[in-house]
Amino acid sequence: MPKMTFIKPDGSRLEVDAPLGATILEIAHKNNLALEGACEGSLACSTCHIIVADEDFERLPEASEDEEDMLDLAYGLTATSRLGCQIQITEELDELVVTLPDGSNNMLV
């Protein structure tokens, strides 16, 4: 089974199992990590914003135009920002490293 590493806002790292086909948002929730996902993965918010490690970013499929639009609303946007609900784990993403931002913009409340 693929693995991935979350870097928490405090800098600590957590390596977890990353089941094939699961989204990063689902994996974060399964491991009790604070990644909000206010719209429950329907691509209607930016609260599952993650920052992908520079060396891993090119391994991801390209973001859709809808994802890019939602990312414009993300807290702490970077060049390697993505939405965790839009990235499904594949064998090619084994050992993926993502950082959880220290905040989010929740426009749904």
Q: What's residue 109's pLDDT?
A: 44
Specify burial of residue 54 (Cβ count, 10 A radius: 0-12, 13-18, 19+): exposed
Instruction: Tell me the per-residue pLDDT of 67-77, one tens digit each, with 9 for 90 and over.
Output: 999 999 998 99
Instruction: Tell me the per-residue pLDDT of 84-103, one tens digit each, with 9 for 90 and over.
Output: 999 999 999 999 999 999 86
Q: By the 8 A CB rule, do 53 and 80 touch?
A: yes
DSSP code string of 26-68: HHHHHTT-----TTTTSSS-STTEEEE-HHHHTTSPPPPHHHH
Q: By the 8 A CB rule, do 82 and 50 touch?
A: yes
Integer Rg of the chain from CA? 12
Give every CB contact of residue 79 below 8 A, 6+ residues apart in sequence. none
Q: Residue 13 carries which DSSP code? A: E
The H-or-E segment that residue 97 falls in is strand 96-99
Average pLDDT over residues 35-47: 91
pTM here is: 0.92
Q: What's residue 9's pLDDT?
A: 94
Instruction: Tell me the per-residue pLDDT of 7-35, one tens digit each, with 9 for 90 and over.
Output: 999 999 999 999 999 999 999 999 999 89
Domains in the chain: boundaries: 3-99
Q: Which CATH number fits domain 3-99: 3.40.50.2000, 3.40.50.300, 3.10.20.30, 3.40.50.2300?
A: 3.10.20.30
